[in-house]
Amino acid sequence: MNNTIKLSVDEKYNGKRLDIFLSNSIDQFTRSFLKKLIENRQVKVNNKIHVSPSIKVKYQDEIIISVNKEKKNNIIPKKIELDIVFEDKSILVINKPKGMVVHPGAGNYENTLVNALLFKYKKNLSDINGNLRPGIVHRIDKDTSGLLVIAKNNSAHANLGKQFSDHTIKRKYMCLSWGVVRPLSGKISTLITRDKRNRQLMTVSEINGKKAITNYKTVKVFNIKDIPKISLIECELETGRTHQIRVHLKYKGTSLLGDKQYGKKNARFKKINGDFFNELSKLSGQALHAKTLEFTHPLTKKRINFNSELPNGFKKILSLLENLSS
């Protein structure tokens, strides 16, 4: 099914970028979604197709947008328990468990967060990101736990999407890393792109990629006999790139406990505390948790914030380290 939107450029937008004009004129779509429509040749300016979101529009230009609805994918709703932190008619904040994929993709179409959302909310979710990602505004990695905000309608989705684009949503993560990051606190600002040697990984680049900014603060360094130095670090994201914290910590010369992708392969210890090694062995995936989330509610316009507890595996290792260092 096609939905056609027709617009005329107001005088105040004369000389502005096409994607900026569209995002300011259409509330129900995010700027990134509108960019995709332009690049997919679904936007005409004066009956001519342009594929660059950055072209400048002129006063009284006629814009026609064709929004093609995707073919329905057979995503099967599945009864999976959700840890709901907050809910109203516009949004839903959930605490995603470690091991759950956010949305369906290659090799996983059944046990994702989307399957759980479709079972509970059916069609009462935004569809801006298509049929594979109903309600999904942002993501966290499969083996990262923590807070996610879900949009129940397109208006809320567009509003939250703009907050992410404007970097006004605050996200703080807690993590356990090997060694000590120097300096103890700071800002990491780089470009992040896909690794040429392994397309499943991301890497820091000096010449191409997307800008990524991570503010970090070392909360505590554990220096305990028979255990390598470990740091408890709080990271606050200004951007949300794929694997951002893990890539930035690797760039700083360290990695997260339990990180099989960016950590050291086949790490061996000459001598290791038995209790610590036991808890480390039980840790499935990286010790990384999206602990706090703060944003402006899309409907009430009030700032709201949420906090979540660390998952059990992370909590047990941290508790053990605290006890051994006291």
Strand order through the sheet with 62-68: 2-8, 62-68, 43-45, 48-49
Helix (H) or strand (E) holding 157: helix 154-165
Using the Cα atoms of residue 21, residue 25, residue 26 and residue 31 in order, give the sign of their dihedral: positive
Geometric angle at alpha carbon 105, from 68 and 311, rounded to 5°: 125
Pair of tokens at residue 129: 């990101």
Catalytic positions, please?
141
Give the strand pairing for 288-296 and 145-151.
Answer: parallel
Give bridge partners of residue 70 from the DSSP assignment. none
Exposed e or buried b for every residue in 60-84, given b needs 16+ CB within 10 A? ebebebebeeeeeeebeebebebee
DSSP H/E element including 110: none
Distances (CA, A) of 13 to 18, 25, 42, 63: 9, 10, 21, 13
Name the token pair of 163.
Answer: 């907050």
14 φ/ψ angles, rounded to the nearest 5 degrees: -60, 125
